[in-house]
A and B are shown apart, each in its own frame.
Chain A
Amino acid sequence: MILHFGILLGFQLIGEILARSFSLPLPGPVIGMILLAILLLTRPRVGPAIEKTASGLLSHLSLLFVPAGVGIVQYLDQMSTIGLPLAAALVGSTVLSIAAGALTFKFVNQARGYKDQPHHD
């Protein structure tokens, strides 16, 4: 458990170092993820070792966004003027983006002659 968590932190650290030294446009953890994915794909035996720790961490991914989300309190006094336009922009663009992305995926997939892979429940 400690070792597996250490592996995740180690990859994040390598990612941060690479991001800073080459001033890459990507944050360290994302680079760490790409590097770990490459390791897993080339050395699949590493996978089962960290699978449990990784899925444990990912099953509570929602919790990890709460502290940053509470940051909204810093903007409460400005919300009377910019709140409504921002809300309209966020709701509208999120709905449009999900719909456009999902439909594009579906139609390109069908155009290539593949079938949908629907719910398996």
Chain B
Amino acid sequence: MTEILDIWSYLSTGPLLWLTLTLLAYLIGLGVFHLSGHRPFVNPVLISMILLSTLLVATDTSYTTYFEGAQFVHFLLGPATVALAVPLWQNWQRIKKSAIPMLAALIVGGLVAMASATAIGYACGLRGEVLLSLVPKAVTSPVAIGVSETIGGLSTLTVALVLITGVIGAVVTTPLLNAIRVRDYRARGFATGVAAHGIGTARAFQVDGTAGAFAGIGMVLNAIFTSLIAPIFVQLFF
């Protein structure tokens, strides 16, 4: 018994264990997603998050210790963001043709995300820095952190809100857009990228390459739009 505890205390503080468990949790999440017949509400990111959070709480492991291992996966977000240039280039002709509807959808989708999150949060009793942390929740996390700090929110809470928004977007987008009868993959992908950044984009790529490319552009444009508009929005309404 003491031997097992020794091995555990050795492994649980190094990066190897938590890196391996992150990949394992994701493989389980993907497996469940495939078994379910690719149902949108069976989201691999959500399943992995629940498995790993439960494990951290059960073993009384801090997030800092976990992240020492998981950071190697986290780091790849940078080059993956750069890699979005490739689908952008592959779909350039179609993107150029849709510039005007994209711009309109960006302004409406970006403003609705900011305003409705703040309004609902306020109506439910949220105030101060917690409410401010909601403002940039639709944009990709590295940008959201910067925006949150600029407007006086809690940047670590913003990261959590951004991630949950992404998962919600990935889960609701297919049934929602079917229900309101938007069938054009460009519109579907773009709106998902604007509202649910990289996780929405990852979901769009699972469905269709064109939807994924348009989602990637939606994510990037809303990152630019929100970082410019959020400070003005906060000045007007706070």
**Is B117 interfacial (CB 8 A cutoff)?**
yes
Whole-angstrom CA separation of A106 from B98 in the bound complex: 10
A56: nearest chain-B partner, CB-CB: B83
Whole-angstrom CA separation of A39 from B164 in the bound complex: 34
**Is B184 interfacial (CB 8 A cutoff)?**
yes
CB atoms of B48 and A101 under 8 A apart: no
Residue in B78, B137, B165, B167 with the greatest tally of chain A CB atoms within 10 Å:
B78
Whole-angstrom CA separation of A48 from B88 in the bound complex: 14
List which B124-149 residues lie within 8 A (CB) of chain A: 124-126, 130, 134, 137-138, 140-143, 146
Query: A78-110: contact bitstring with B at CB < 8 Å (1 yes, 0 no)?
Result: 000010111111111111111111111110110
What residues on B are CB-neighbors of A75 within 8 Å?
A: 157, 160
Given A100-B112, A101-B191, A117-B186; A66-B22 close (CB under 8 Å): yes
Whole-angstrom CA separation of A121 from B117 in the bound complex: 35
CB atoms of B176 and A99 under 8 A apart: yes
B192: nearest chain-A partner, CB-CB: A98
CB atoms of A57 and B76 under 8 A apart: yes
CB atoms of A72 and B49 under 8 A apart: yes
CB atoms of B57 and A68 under 8 A apart: no
**Is B87 interfacial (CB 8 A cutoff)?**
yes
What residues on A are CB-neighbors of B146 within 8 Å?
A: 25, 27
CB atoms of A63 and B26 under 8 A apart: yes
**Is B8 interfacial (CB 8 A cutoff)?**
no
CB atoms of A72 and B160 under 8 A apart: yes
Residue in A63, A70, A112, A117 with the greatest tally of chain B CB atoms within 10 Å:
A70
Given A65-B198, A89-B126, A93-B137; A29-B78 close (CB under 8 Å): yes
CB distance from A40 to the nearest CB of B (A): 4
Number of interface residues of B (CB under 8 A): 110
Whole-angstrom CA separation of A82 from B124 in the bound complex: 9
CB atoms of A92 and B196 under 8 A apart: no
Whole-angstrom CA separation of A60 from B77 in the bound complex: 10
B177: nearest chain-A partner, CB-CB: A102
Query: B158-173: contact bitstring with A at CB < 8 Å (1 yes, 0 no)?
Result: 0111011111110011
CB atoms of B63 and A89 under 8 A apart: no
CB distance from B26 to the nearest CB of A (A): 5
What residues on A are CB-neighbors of B52 within 8 Å?
A: 66, 70
CB atoms of A67 and B71 under 8 A apart: yes
- Among B53, B82, B185, contact of A8 (Cβ-Cβ < 8 Å): B82
**Is B232 interfacial (CB 8 A cutoff)?**
no
- A interface residues (Cβ-Cβ under 8 A, vs B): 5, 8-9, 11-12, 15, 25-30, 32-34, 36-37, 39-41, 44, 47, 50-51, 53-55, 57-59, 61-76, 82, 84-106, 108-109, 112, 114, 116-120
Task: Show 24 A/B contacts (Cβ-Cβ < 8 Å), sorted by A.
Answer: A8-B82, A12-B78, A29-B81, A33-B84, A34-B220, A59-B205, A62-B45, A63-B23, A66-B22, A67-B22, A71-B159, A71-B163, A82-B126, A93-B116, A94-B168, A94-B172, A97-B195, A99-B191, A102-B190, A102-B192, A104-B109, A109-B184, A116-B184, A118-B185
